[in-house]
Amino acid sequence: MKKADLEKRMYKRVAIEVSLRYLLPMTTFDKVYTASTFDIGKGGIGLTCDEALDDGTAMVIEIDPKQRDLDQPAFRVQAQCIWCEPKDGKFQIGVMFYYFDDDLRTQVSCFVDAIDSMAAFSA
């Protein structure tokens, strides 16, 4: 999928920078990678990473809302790399979430809504 095609997203993205961890389950579970976000939405997240990922790479992302002083537990969501581009010596990666149940969807939605409210309040 080309980056221009992503402008037709199903969900609004909210600019946010937090650090997170991710695993690449199709390769190995013994290495934990770190990244920072540049945006997040109810359907996916934008990451800045040191490593490039191939389109279609499966990953498990762990997000801790407490980094933004939100009283929500950390959660893990399965995701897939949709695009990856080099930028300033790192890689920007567009990631799409895959949900297993309504509880996880609700956790992600609550986190995104809280970040969106915080952004609107500070504007």
Domain-by-domain residue ranges, the chain? 3-122
pLDDT the model gives residue 55:
95
- pTM value is 0.83
Question: Averaged over 7-28, what is the pLDDT?
Answer: 81
Question: Averaged over 99-114, what is the pLDDT?
Answer: 88
Residue 4 has pLDDT above 50, yes or no: no
What is the DSSP secondary-structure string of 29-48?
EEEEEEEEEEEEESSEEEEE
Q: Which architecture characterizes domain 3-122 according to CATH?
A: Beta Barrel (2.40)
Task: Name the pLDDT band for 95 (thresholds 50, 70, 90).
Answer: very high
Mean pLDDT of the chain: 87
**Separation of alpha carbons 27 and 29, rounded Å:** 7
pLDDT above 90: percentage of residues in the chain: 59
56 φ, ψ (degrees, to nearest 5):
90, -5
Contact 57, 91 (CB under 8 A): no
Residue 8 has pLDDT above 60, yes or no: no
